[in-house]
A and B are shown apart, each in its own frame.
Chain A
Amino acid sequence: MTVYLLCFVLFLVGLYGLITRRNLIKIIISKSITEFSVFLILVLIGYIDQGLAPIVDPGTSHQVYVDPLPQAMVLTAIVIGLATTAMLMAIAIRLYRKYKTFDIREIKNLRG
């Protein structure tokens, strides 16, 4: 129970970063932090005590394995997170080239 609460605290730290930080790169970092916490919650859900890693040894029979479905979901979500991070970095570098700053508030009033 405490692990899930700690994951949610990590999610809240990421959310805090998203709302308060003004630096483009730090907003991307806090987005990644929220992603890390959600991925961890998903994998924690699929964990089974004394379960083996989901690689079946053909010889043995009837082992208890960890649930592979949340792992497949998280693998997909990690690559989605990479996709959005890549496009955000593209915009961040482009805005930096134009305004010479990563600060979102300065970019707003340099709108010209």
Chain B
Amino acid sequence: MEGMSIIVKKVTQLMVGIIFMFGIYIILHGHLSPGGGFAGGVLIAGAFILLILAFGSSSLKLKKEVAGSSNTESIGILMVVVMAVMAMLFGAKVFFFNFLPKGEAGELLSAGVIPLYNIFIGIEVAGAILTIFLALIIFKEESSK
């Protein structure tokens, strides 16, 4: 897939870093400000999509990226389920129990398990949406060959 004009490439180079950082900010501050795992994950995936659209890349490289993104996605969701079961093992013997200390409300490291869930759900959502987009782009390229 060929990239776009030089202007778009330059603007993308400037913006992608900011979008990516903003996505991470949204995930980490999920329990403090609006947004959370879902919004942040989609933002991170959006940053990658912008990169691929602007610079374009051969389907060979994309195939490796799809394998990578679907693996990160599986690992992300696996960690969420493992943490839920871990809560069961030594929390109050209950599925999805918030076993970490709640900390002081309003601080970054508060709300026990919720930031961890936010991070792993963010990874999983970013991987899933990137996989969907890459699968579409690879199919468009492969079938037009």
B71 at the interface (CB under 8 A from A): no
> Using Cβ atoms and an 8 Å threshold, which residues of chain A touch B34?
53, 55
Q: A94-B139, A97-B143 are in contact. Are A75 and B38 (CB under 8 A)?
A: yes
Query: Which residues in window 97-145 of B have CB below 8 A to A?
Result: 105-106, 125, 129, 132, 135-136, 139-140, 143
Q: A55-B33, A55-B34 are in contact. Are A90 and B143 (CB under 8 A)?
A: no
Complex formed: what's the CA distance from A53 to B139 in Å?
A: 43
Q: Say which residue of B106, B132, B140 sits within 8 Å of A86 (CB atoms).
A: B132
- B41 — nearest CB in chain A belongs to which residue? A79
The 8 A CB mask of A65-96 against B (1 = contact, 0 = none) is 00000000001000100100010011001100
Interface residues in B, total, Cβ within 8 A:
13
A112 at the interface (CB under 8 A from B): no
Binding site for B on A (CB under 8 A): 53, 55-56, 58, 75, 79, 82, 86, 89-90, 93-94, 97
> Using Cβ atoms and an 8 Å threshold, which residues of chain B touch A82?
129
Contact present for B139 and A93 (CB under 8 Å): yes
> What is the CB-to-nearest-CB distance from A97 to chain B, in angstroms, rounded to a whole number?
5
> What is the CB-to-nearest-CB distance from A94 to chain B, in angstroms, rounded to a whole number?
7
Secondary structure of the A contact surface, majority rule: helix
Complex formed: what's the CA distance from A89 to B133 in Å?
A: 11
> What is the CB-to-nearest-CB distance from B48 to chain A, in angstroms, rounded to a whole number?
16
> What is the CB-to-nearest-CB distance from B102 to chain A, in angstroms, rounded to a whole number?
13
- A82 — nearest CB in chain B belongs to which residue? B129
> What is the CB-to-nearest-CB distance from A69 to chain B, in angstroms, rounded to a whole number?
16
Contact present for B136 and A89 (CB under 8 Å): yes
> What is the CB-to-nearest-CB distance from B100 to chain A, in angstroms, rounded to a whole number?
19
Q: Say which residue of A55, A58, A79, A90 sits within 8 Å of B136 (CB atoms).
A: A90
Complex formed: what's the CA distance from A86 to B135 in Å?
A: 10
Contact present for A93 and B106 (CB under 8 Å): no
- B125 — nearest CB in chain A belongs to which residue? A79
> Using Cβ atoms and an 8 Å threshold, which residues of chain B touch A89?
136
Query: Can you list 22 A-B pairs, Cβ within 8 angstroms, ordered by A?
Result: A53-B34, A55-B33, A55-B34, A56-B105, A58-B105, A58-B106, A75-B38, A79-B38, A79-B125, A82-B129, A86-B132, A89-B136, A90-B132, A90-B135, A90-B136, A90-B139, A93-B136, A93-B139, A93-B140, A94-B139, A97-B139, A97-B143
Complex formed: what's the CA distance from A97 to B144 in Å?
A: 8
